[in-house]
Structure 1
Amino acid sequence: MYAHCVPHRNSELCKVFSLQSNLAEVFSSQKSPISCLDGIRTISTILIVMLHVWRFIILRSSHLNEYTALEFWYSPLSNLLEHGRNAVDTFFFLSSFLVMYNFQNKTLKGQHFSLWKFYLNRYFRLFPVLLIVFLFYITLGKFCGKGPMHDNLDVEHWRKNAWTQIVGIANFYCLSPRVSGLVHLWYVHCDTQLYLLTPIAFLVYLKFSKKISLVFICIVLLVSIASVFTGGFMITGNYGIYAVKYWIQFYSVPYFRGNSWIMGLLCAYFFIPMKTSPLKLNKNNEHNSDHKA
């Protein structure tokens, strides 16, 4: 209301809380061609937060009646919440899309691709913050919990395996259901591992041709789909998707998440040509359609 009544005194701080300014920004067409990714990221974040609130707070609440929980478990809303785990794949998709998008933009501008800069940029952008969180947890984490189920097994586990967080392979060391304090960091490591493998496609792109790199990415995608389908069918058929073995061998590892990552590469691969050379209606077809009309 203040922004509407006193437009000449608007500050950037007021605009942050202004519905009028924010809606104008949301529906503005004068944006980056990939600004729609922000909306996908927002929706995915909401679904993931709702899933964790439902599963780890509501279902585990001591005040929840078991019959009520069971009745809700089979409801359509519960089905929607449980499938919030699929929204995790959208983040892998977005990450790979942006990686390929930036790579192709730099290539079209004639900029040199440096493998070392590619890797170092990733490490120093994410891991210093991650290591600060990790060091806080293994030193002061034992003072941040309470209750009869609280113990220091999780802290001791990560103290012994601190090197896995530094190297970036901690998602392979969540070997116990009791090791859950830092289990959410699996995504950072899994995403980084896929990130480190992506330059293989870039090198094929640069050394050979764009079409050969496309064929290479498609072959890797088919192999990934086949391996995930075969292994996933064997694991879920014998143990179920809620088993610890499913989490260890599939959910948090890169070969399980490779499909969505590769799909992001493919979409960015085709997006750049469409942006630079948009599709146009053939003049002959346009003339024929007008004549028929």
Structure 2
Amino acid sequence: METTLILFLTLSLTQGEVLLKLVKLQATKLITTSEIGENCAEDLSLLISDAFDLKLWALKMLDATSKINSGLWNGNAHFFGDYDQCLSIEHNTHNNTIRGQYCTAVLSVDPNVLNGDMQFLKLQHHVKIVNGLKFEGIFEHLKNASGGFGICVPKSCSPRDLATLLLNVKKKFKLPITLSFEEDLCVYKGEPSKISKLDVSVCYGLVLVVLLMCGSTIYDVYLQGSGVFRFLSVNRNMKKLLHQREDRTLNCVSGIKVISCFWVMLGHAAIGGTLLAKNIFYTVTEWRWKPMNTFVWTGHNAMDTFFTVSGLLVSYTYLKSSQKSSTGLFTFYTNRYVRLTPVMLLTILIQSSLLKIYVEGPYAKIMLDIFIEKCYDNWPSMVFYTINLFLHTKTVVTHIWYLSCDFQMYLLAPIFLFFIRKHPRKVTAAMALTFLLSVLYSFAITGIKKVGFTVYEWNQDFAYYLAFSTFHHLPSWLIGIFCGYLLQHENIKIPKNLNVCLLFVSFLSLIMLMVNQLTHLEGEYSVYRAALWNGLARPAWSLSLCYIIFSCATGHGGIVNSFLSNYVFIVLSELSYSIYLVHGGIMLFIFGNSRQTLFFNNHQILLYFMEICMWTLPLSLFTYLAFEAPILSIKNYMFKPKKSDSKEE
């Protein structure tokens, strides 16, 4: 018995050794027959030889390369490997030093595998049976989907060498996948820095701003100075931030703005979570059907809240100030441009420079390209607030699209505001006509382009013609404009019972507009239903919101007004613009430094959200103190009559 067992083990080991030698022979043959660089071929041959000899550096390089992980049926298509281990590899030979190079390859399944009778492991059937998920739309998306695959190779191998080698591997073994490489997606330790002179200048400029803030604060607090140099004083700007406004009519708007800001960040945290999810199918099957999750994936409603509030504040503040003094068209536009643009450009410039320095990881370059390179390419459209008009030619757009829409609407404001006091009926009729044309536009686009209305049905046509279109969001802004006009009328009395009923209906409408999207996902796509939703849902949202504001502003809000007018909301609302600008860069910092995929669920979304808030709030405060508040002071100094310093405070 023992002799038989020993003989069996000997034969097994012999067969295993023969198999390993065969694998080594085939791998070496592939390297030598592929048209790759001489140095790359030598280093790869040495890698294979030393790996079979169990040398540590070679084993570490193979270990750092990604392997196909479990969870493919859940959509796990990102395989990072070990980024840091790969970059730490350094092996000295008699005439060369081999260093580890980490390359992120784009992994995609060949289209012919997903067609006809050769469907990849009956994927079509699998997708069909999961929670009633509609196969057609999701499967078409899967055909164009791709994942990431981290490969650790010697630095001497260029992306072109790797592409050539893997193409030969694919042909020889008839693999149903494709790995594509780009020069920018390969990283190695000691590579030339891509930090430009502009980035260095920005860092020095940031240090200078901090020093000026310190000097201005000392000048303000200890020397009791006055004048323009106090504009950078932390003490002065903190007092302005924490100071209660004299006009408390619209304090309730503060709570709405802050809740909307955090809602946007929560939605973006969920989007970021899906980028690194190892269970991406879960997000489009089980997760989206849970009623509580509709609050997360309907966060785009917060943008219409911003448009409504923007229109209301523009209308209310202009009509109120025009009672005391008139505002010229040039001043009206310049005031807004100076309010928005310098802070936006400075924030984006600083984020772009700092992210290059502090973001490093398997997907860092891919994510930075979304923000930095596209921002550099699109800077004229950002400066002139037209970035939302070029989505067909520039496929990636940052969250700055909202500012473009908002500024374009602001350009229309004088048409209504300059004449509404003298000709209220004519202006109201013009607003109603514009409102109707915008609704009809949304109807028509939905019918022509056959677009959907939920986030799960978004595509480039929906983004360009509806989601990022100024004309599509115009009804929300016009409703805000009209609400601001109505608030100019004093002593508005609303019967208590009627007010309670209208508040209840308003809150119920907001909830139903979120939950109702969930019920629409269950049925087949209907162009009529989509057209009705795209045309009327946003105006309905804005009308409900405006009544809540109107009730609170006229003294009928009760506990609702007390909550929305909380002092914490008032302070945070002053930071809302900085929060909106800063949080996008924070997301890239968090997700760009990720080293592994994570399981997507509500707990993970909450962790992402809390981390985004933890970084965003203090950095938004710094942005406000260093840029926004000083620029506001300069703007007020330029566009208002000069006052004594005591009055200014």
Which TM-score tier does this pair reach, normalised by the shorter chain?
0.7 to 0.9
Q: Which of 188, 206, 222 is residue 436 of structure 2 equivalent to?
A: 222
Distance change in 2, residues 1:238/1:217 (3 Å) = closer
**What residue is the counterpart of 2:380 in the other structure?**
163
- Verify: 1:261 aligned to 2:477, yes or no: yes
Question: By how many angstroms is 1:177 displaced?
Answer: 8.0
What is the number of equivalent residue pairs in this alignment? Answer: 250
How far apart, in 1, do the equivalents of 2:297 and 2:347 lie? Answer: 28
- Verify: 1:134 aligned to 2:351, yes or no: no
How far apart, in 1, do the equivalents of 2:419 and 2:432 lie? Answer: 13
**What residue is the counterpart of 1:105 in the other structure?**
320
**What residue is the counterpart of 1:278 in the other structure?**
492
- Verify: 1:252 aligned to 2:468, yes or no: yes
Distance change in 2, residues 1:157/1:41 (3 Å) = closer
Distance change in 2, residues 1:172/1:65 (3 Å) = closer
- Give the letter aligned to residue 314 of structure 2: V
**What residue is the counterpart of 1:120 in the other structure?**
334
How far apart, in 1, do the equivalents of 2:284 and 2:441 lie? Answer: 36
**What residue is the counterpart of 1:94 in the other structure?**
309
Question: By how many angstroms is 1:126 displaced?
Answer: 1.0
The structure that has the greater radius of gyration is 2
Of Structure 1 and Structure 2, the greater strand share is in: 2
Once superposed, what is the RMSD of the aligned Cα atoms? 3.3
How far apart, in 2, do the equivalents of 1:243 and 1:91 lie? Answer: 23
| Structure 1 residues without counterparts, runs of 5 or longer | 1-12, 17-29, 282-293
How far apart, in 2, do the equivalents of 1:123 and 1:259 lie? Answer: 23
Give CA deviations for 1:200-251 in whole Å, capped at 9, x if unaligned: 1123326x51222122211211111111222134334489741122112221
**What residue is the counterpart of 2:643 in the other structure?**
none
How far apart, in 2, do the equivalents of 1:145 and 1:125 lie? Answer: 30
How far apart, in 1, do the equivalents of 2:434 and 2:302 lie? Answer: 22
1:177 touches 1:244 (CA, 8 Å); kept in 2?
Answer: no
How far apart, in 2, do the equivalents of 1:49 and 1:160 lie? Answer: 25
**What residue is the counterpart of 2:135 in the other structure?**
none
1:92 touches 1:260 (CA, 8 Å); kept in 2?
Answer: yes
Question: By how many angstroms is 1:138 displaced?
Answer: 5.5
SS at match of 2:275: coil
SS at match of 2:299: helix
- TM-score by length of structure 2 reads 0.35
**What residue is the counterpart of 2:287 in the other structure?**
72
Of Structure 1 and Structure 2, the greater helix share is in: 1
Distance change in 2, residues 1:157/1:40 (3 Å) = closer
Question: By how many angstroms is 1:153 displaced?
Answer: 4.8
**What residue is the counterpart of 1:200 in the other structure?**
415
Distance change in 2, residues 1:144/1:259 (3 Å) = farther
Question: By how many angstroms is 1:189 displaced?
Answer: 1.3
**What residue is the counterpart of 2:254 in the other structure?**
38
- TM-score by length of structure 1 reads 0.73
- Verify: 1:232 aligned to 2:446, yes or no: yes
Distance change in 2, residues 1:137/1:186 (3 Å) = same
- Verify: 1:172 aligned to 2:389, yes or no: yes
Distance change in 2, residues 1:63/1:245 (3 Å) = same
| Structure 2 residues without counterparts, runs of 5 or longer | 1-234, 239-245, 496-649
**What residue is the counterpart of 1:184 in the other structure?**
399
How far apart, in 2, do the equivalents of 1:117 and 1:189 lie? Answer: 19
2:452 touches 2:458 (CA, 8 Å); kept in 1?
Answer: no
1:153 touches 1:179 (CA, 8 Å); kept in 2?
Answer: no
- Give the letter aligned to residue 248 of structure 1: Y
SS at match of 2:294: helix
- Give the letter aligned to residue 159 of structure 1: Y
**What residue is the counterpart of 1:23 in the other structure?**
none
Give CA deviations for 1:15-55 in whole Å, capped at 9, x if unaligned: x9xxxxxxxxxxxxx97121111122222223222211122
